[in-house]
Structure 1
Amino acid sequence: MNFKPFVSSLLAGLLLVATAARADEIPVAVAANFTAPFNKIAAEFEKETGHKVVSSFGSTGKFYAQIKNGAPFEILLAADDETPAKLIKEGAGVAGSQYSYAIGKLVLWSAKPAVVDAKGEVLKGGGFDHIALANPKLAPYGAAAMETMKAMGVLDSLTPKFVTAETIAQAYQFVSSGNSLLGFVALSQVLKDGQIAGSAWVVPANLYTPIRQDAVLLTPGNGKAGAAALLKYLQGAKAQAVIRSFGYEIAL
């Protein structure tokens, strides 16, 4: 009797059990602008490691409040560098774990062609009723939008037209649905295969504080193999290629 197929099958089964036993479930809080690239990265990470990523997407400001109130996230992928540093200082983040995983880019965007010009002069013309942006108190992209309008000298005139979203994802929805003719969103939300549908102005980086998006290991994830593996994977070549493909820059 040939026992080789049986032994091979048994070994394969034991290997699967051992892998499952080592696999972690990793709760991750992810800035809304990073939704699409992170979903892609997480899927590949799960295939390669067997770990399970449980993602929550939202505003960095709200995640900060949830983490301080005991939310069991193991990793925060913030839309700024200030929140991770604050969490470390307050004992909710692990010292030495913070690093910049991406540098975001702000875009003035309309789902309709020929609305937004290549220099953002539409903001000075004012031929629109509403302009969407994320809440600047909660979302760094909203704060960057405010800085941009102030630098251009149009903040006061445009303030009455604001449609303020809770997150950058909601700001995108306001514009894509047509509820707002134009709005400030993240380049990653509108860049598809190197092209932007509709019309857009990629805001020059000198008009707002650089959007350094930092990752941090939170105290519930300290010592967890899965959380450590995911943070390492995000710094690898495969993940960084995905990040760049969505229009982000990589911090050197």
Structure 2
Amino acid sequence: MKLSVRTLLKCSLSLLCGANAVSAAEVQVAVAANFTAPMQAIAAAFEEDTGHKAVVAFGATGKFYAQIKHGAPFEVFLAADDKTPAKLEAEGDVVPGTRFTYAIGTLVLWSAKASYVDAKGEVLKSGDFRHLSLANPKTAPYGAAAMAVLDKLGVTSSLQGRMVQGENITQAHQFIATGNAELGFVALSQVYKDGKLTSGSGWIVPADFHDPIRQDAVILTKGKNNPAAAALVAYLKEARAATIIRAYGYEL
């Protein structure tokens, strides 16, 4: 029986698609809340380029640590700091040699109101506001960085009664976006895209006002034998992911 070229092409494509379906896998990923927007874009690109699917949960780094220690099924962890992944590695919960810094975060004092936050953050010293939002410094590295900034500026005591703490950086942002707080500290990635603020006004905090927010990723022991886990970590180091990460204001 003689087959047409078109039929042969269809058969070849079917075989390729079948092979990809067999080799494609899912990976369970815990991601720091500040990295929500870029990770959503990376996950879509990752699936498009590799066929693997990243099933992603977003939240506070400290809470993810507790969940991982209690057996949560995460296979890859993208933290908001470098200390938590290092601690997990020391405790034997990480595949050796997989820890690396995938991004360096930037903190911004932001308001949903245009022209409300000046270019030097002097509004913090004027005290002309009722509520200042930040993430819980005990569980969220961006919250800890925010407290370091307030200490450096010498305004921690005077603003103590006005601070509203979010469970994570996403909730801290929501307090400001909804007007429950006039301003607050969030991750630049939440309000920034392609070189500019997407809304409101903000002061990008100088890097020397707090310790560097080095964000590390690891493959957890549960992902040791999952090819999609290894593929995702490798993908985070590739050019397409790097372009997305930089677009949201992170350094590499």
Same fold (TM over 0.5): yes
CA shift, 1:88, in A, is 0.8
Is 1:109 aligned with 2:110?
yes
Matched, 1:3 2:3: yes
Q: Provide the C-alpha distance between the structure 1 equivalents of 2:80 and 2:140, rounded to a whole number of angstroms.
A: 7
Contact kept in structure 1, 2:193 and 2:249, CA below 8 Å: no
> What is the alpha-carbon distance in structure 2 between the residues aligned to residue 164 and residue 14 of structure 1?
54
Give the equivalent residue in structure 1 for 2:212. Answer: 210
Residue 234 (str. 1) matches residue 236 (str. 2): yes
Aligned partners of 1:193 and 1:94: how far apart in 2? 34
Q: Deviations over 1:19-52 (max 9, x none)?
A: 1111110100011110111111111110111101
Distance 2:185 2:145 in 1: 9
Structure 1 residue matching 2:121: 3-state secondary structure: coil
Amino acid at match of 2:167: E
Residue 154 of structure 1: aligned partner = 155
1:52 — aligned with what? 53
CA distance in 2, matches of 1:13, 1:198: 50
Residue 248 of structure 2 is matched in structure 1 by: 246
TM-score (ref. length: structure 1):
0.96
Query: Which amino acid counterpart does residue 247 of structure 1 have in structure 2?
Result: G
How far does the alpha carbon of each residue in 1:60-87 deviate from its partner, in whole angstroms, 9 at most, with x for none? 0110011001011110000000000011
Shift of 1:2: 4.3
For residues 132-143 of structure 1, the aligned pairs below 5 Å read: 132-143=133-144
Gaps of 5+ in 1: none
- The one-letter code matched in structure 2 to 1:158 is L
- 2:88 alignment counterpart: 87
Equivalence for 1:199: 201
Query: Given the two structures, how large is their TM-score scaled by the length of structure 2?
Result: 0.96
| Correspondence 1:11-30 to 2 at 5 A | 11-30=12-31
Q: 1:173-212 CA deviation, whole Å, 9 max, x = no partner? A: 1101111000000011111332212111111111101000
Hey, what's the Cα distance between the residues in 1 that align with 2:12 and 2:158? 70
Tell me, which stretches of 5 or more residues in structure 2 are unaligned? none
2:169 pairs with 1:168: yes
Query: How many angstroms apart in 1 are the aligned matches of 2:107 and 2:192?
Result: 12
- Deviation, 1:145, is 0.2
CA distance in 1, matches of 2:147, 2:45: 36
Q: How far apart are the structure 2 equivalents of 1:169 and 1:47?
A: 27
Q: Does 1:38 align with 2:28?
A: no
- Separation of aligned partners in 1, 2:121 and 2:16: 57
3-state SS in 2 of match to 1:57? strand
| Distance in structure 1 (CA, Å) of the matches to 2:242 and 2:161 | 40
Residue 85 of structure 1 aligns to a residue whose secondary structure is helix
Residue identity in the other structure for 2:82: D
**What is the alpha-carbon distance in structure 2 between the residues aligned to residue 121 and residue 19 of structure 1?**
55
DSSP 3-state at the match of 1:157: helix
Deviation at 1:164, TM superposition (A): 0.5
By how many angstroms is 1:15 displaced?
1.9
Please give the root-mean-square deviation of Cα atoms over the aligned residues, in Å: 1.1
Residue 221 of structure 1: which of 220, 223, 226 is its match? 223
